[in-house]
Structure 1
Amino acid sequence: MKNKRIFLSAPHMSGNELKYIEKVFESNYIAPLGEYVNKFEESIKNYTGVKNALAVVSGTAAIHLALRVLGIKEGDDVLASTFTFIGSVNAILYQRANPIFIDSDNDSWNLSPKLLNKYLCTCEKKPKALIVTHLYGMCADIEKIADICNLHGVYLIEDAAESLGATYNGKHTGTFGDFGIYSFNGNKILTTSGGGMLVSNNAKWIEKAKFYSTQAKEDFIHYEHEEYGYNYRMSNVLAAIGVAQMEVIEERVAKKREIFGWYEEYLSNIDEIIFMPELSNSRGNRWLTALTFSKSDYNKVMQALDKINVESRPLWKPMHIQKLFEDAKCIVDGTSEKLFSQGLCLASSTTMTRDDVEMICKTIIDSLD
């Protein structure tokens, strides 16, 4: 008989979700209005220190709104991390803009400030914005990246979908740029089943994003429209889940980091294994424990883990080698392609125990070439 399935990052409820959902039902404010939407936004602001927040249906919707508010339009160039999930960059296509992909560095596995600066110093057409991803909950070299963007007049959007709770020099990811976004999809460190948050210290921008997210309705008693908008606001029901989840955010970060510590303890003596690094002066949330194998085939490791009913997954396939973006410009040096060819994400659900991790590590070691 197989063990109970161990997932990469399963939802983990705090215990108050149903209580808050019941209050939503009692109020009958089910739609994208109600006190829990406001409470969820306030909890994000209080936790991260950002001045303004807007609860929406997904992280991708949040990125789309950011691009729209910043005036990104057809023909504009938008820089982005190539080593990321597709949701980070789809919104560039929504605006009919041109994605330009920047490779990672070995110090963080996130976007390379060196390659970014090199491109901005030599490009003929200045990009309008950069979408930088904090991959697997680990901080990009965000202060350097923000300085480069400021120097060249490029808007900065932080895709912190995976990195809620991560900090650089004590400041939360998602709060360094012009906009930041978080995701509350089912596998994130906190989940509302589906949902996202757009944040910014610019109140006017968030108000404009709110306007676009509610069908761009003008301020009339009737439905008056001068611009097109979207149905992007989060429901009060999902926001109630988010409020309960935010009550345990630090516990979840601590548990994710503890799980990583167990993996590191059991596998650090294996020469070919390299874990995703953590920049000095940063605290990643270790959403998923990610590592590479310099000699062994990660597919064999995945197969061995699947036999004991444990989920694992390859690292993200870089965007610049996806067929969708075969004609896109890219500034690469092979770093992300190498990581993709050697890397694996290990199960990191916050319900896991040390015994679970020990079993997984033994299986990994036995499967190595």
Structure 2
Amino acid sequence: MNKPILLSTPHIGDRELEFVKEAFETNWIAPVGPHVDAFEQEFCQLTGASHAVAVSSGTAALHLALRLVGVEPGDEVFCSTLTFIASANPITYLGAKPVFIDSDRTSWNMNPELLAEALKHRAKKGKLPKAVVLVHLYGQSADIDPILKACNQYNIPLIEDAAEALGATYQGRYLGTFGHIGIYSFNGNKIITTSGGGMLVCDDLELVNRANFLATQARDRAPHYQHSEIGYNYRLSNILAGIGRGQLCVLSERVAARRRNFEIYYHALKNLPGIEFMPEANYGRATRWLTCLTIDPEAFGANREQVRLALIEQQIESRPVWKPLHLQPIFAECECFGGAVAEDLFAYGLCLPSGSNLKREDLERVIVQIKAVHYKTQSVFTVTEKVYLTT
């Protein structure tokens, strides 16, 4: 029986345990503490951000970011449509309504031209969005310059959802540091993990102080417990921050491993008919958090779902590309500018196992099974192809 190959599992080393042990030895196991402070400082040193707030999840960070820029009930917030639902859920927490923007094919991220058209359309109606949530998908940067230019034209804050893209760059600069606020996730499947956790970064110290205030139940300055507004229990624990500090030390290694995964997949599968990999836009360097490809069923001989099910039979986990948010039942009444590109990527896209702790033989198992699905649909096998499938 083959061992399971999962999509993206945590990859923990020795440094993390040292920091966690220190937290236990000093009895700093509650929320906040010296590891939290150090994690925030080291994160800023790594990314170039001015200030950071460590919180319990990327979703919590995005919720805080939206509140910090003043999103209120009845507002609209523009958001990438090709993304996980956590990019849009916090919009609804505040009683606002998401409006979705389609992707471009260059990066699979928000289409800058569509965003500009959507903002122009809303400006004519006198109903501009309160914010724009830009998602950097699967470890790749969106084309930030034209998106930021469009937002600045109407004085709309840009929030960068870099949950999937820590370690990726745009024109040599870390993602999450271009917009008004940036957010990251350290969920168990991300490039680095704290088990569960997130980070908010911002250049505005006043906003960062308010984020800290809101994330600790909005407790007023008083010797007793006094609260003048609603806050949240969002601060990261000292133990989890210790894990994060250890993970930060190996971020570059984790990125290199995932890019290596992509290169192995790419060189083994690129010549199969109907296979196209998620491109790497020439303005940045992607982490390849997940290796993603599209499958043209007519050329390949099988569709995305048939390949996914064939992999499952061999205990190999793969997943379709994110279902666009404008197709989700919960957002059925929300407007979307465009949508055809995201729908097409969802229909044909597949994410392959991409963990930084995968061995070459794991990747070869995936490759062999994908090739096997294709070859089963062909009436003639060449000798070379038969030999490859048995090695």
TM-score (norm 1): 0.98
Letter of the aligned partner of 1:51 in structure 2? S
Aligned residue for 2:93? Answer: 94
Letter of the aligned partner of 2:355 in structure 1? S
Aligned residue for 2:143? Answer: 141
Residue aligned with 2:236, SS: coil
Residue from 254, 257, 270 that aligns with 1:255: 257
Give 5+ residue unaligned stretches, structure 1.
none
Aligned residue for 1:327? Answer: 333
Residue aligned with 1:365, SS: helix
Letter of the aligned partner of 2:340 in structure 1? G
Aligned residue for 1:316? Answer: 322
* Aligned pairs for 1:59-78 within 5 A: 59-78=58-77
| Distance in 2 (alpha carbons) for counterparts of 1:14 and 1:129 | 39
| Distance in 2 (alpha carbons) for counterparts of 1:274 and 1:117 | 28
| Distance in 2 (alpha carbons) for counterparts of 1:206 and 1:287 | 28
| Conservation of the 8 A alpha-carbon contact between 1:312 and 1:345 | yes
Residue aligned with 1:99, SS: strand
* Aligned pairs for 1:69-218 within 5 A: 69-123=68-122, 124=125, 125-218=127-220
Query: How many residues align structurally?
Result: 368
Letter of the aligned partner of 1:37 in structure 2? V
| Conservation of the 8 A alpha-carbon contact between 2:101 and 2:339 | no
Residue aligned with 1:217, SS: coil
Deviation for aligned residue 1:302: 1.0
* Aligned pairs for 1:39-58 within 5 A: 39-58=38-57
Aligned residue for 1:349? Answer: 355
Aligned residue for 2:371? Answer: 365
Letter of the aligned partner of 1:287 in structure 2? W
| Distance in 2 (alpha carbons) for counterparts of 1:64 and 1:153 | 20
Letter of the aligned partner of 1:223 in structure 2? Y
Deviation for aligned residue 1:333: 4.0
| Conservation of the 8 A alpha-carbon contact between 1:14 and 1:247 | no
TM-score (norm 2): 0.93
Letter of the aligned partner of 1:88 in structure 2? S
What percentage of residue pairs aligned between the two structures are identical?
A: 49
Deviation for aligned residue 1:277: 1.1
Letter of the aligned partner of 1:42 in structure 2? Q
Letter of the aligned partner of 2:365 in structure 1? M
Residues 90-123 of structure 1, C-alpha deviations (whole Å, 9 max, x = no match) = 0000000011000001111110001000111121
| Distance in 1 (alpha carbons) for counterparts of 2:38 and 2:81 | 34
| Conservation of the 8 A alpha-carbon contact between 2:76 and 2:96 | yes
Residues 303-332 of structure 1, C-alpha deviations (whole Å, 9 max, x = no match) = 111122111001100000111001111111
Deviation for aligned residue 1:143: 1.7
RMSD: 0.9
Is residue 11 of structure 2 the alignment partner of residue 12 of structure 1?
A: yes
| Distance in 2 (alpha carbons) for counterparts of 1:326 and 1:59 | 24
| Distance in 2 (alpha carbons) for counterparts of 1:20 and 1:53 | 20
Residues 8-46 of structure 1, C-alpha deviations (whole Å, 9 max, x = no match) = 111001211121111101111111121100111112101
Residues 342-368 of structure 1, C-alpha deviations (whole Å, 9 max, x = no match) = 010000011112222222112101113
| Bigger Rg over Cα | 2
Residues 133-166 of structure 1, C-alpha deviations (whole Å, 9 max, x = no match) = 1011111111221111111211100000000000
Deviation for aligned residue 1:64: 0.4
* Aligned pairs for 1:263-282 within 5 A: 263-282=265-284
| Conservation of the 8 A alpha-carbon contact between 1:139 and 1:278 | no
Residue aligned with 2:199, SS: strand
Deviates more, 1:229-238 or 1:326-335: 326-335
Give 5+ residue unaligned stretches, structure 2.
378-391
- Find runs of 4+ consecutive structure 1 residues off by over 6 angstroms: none
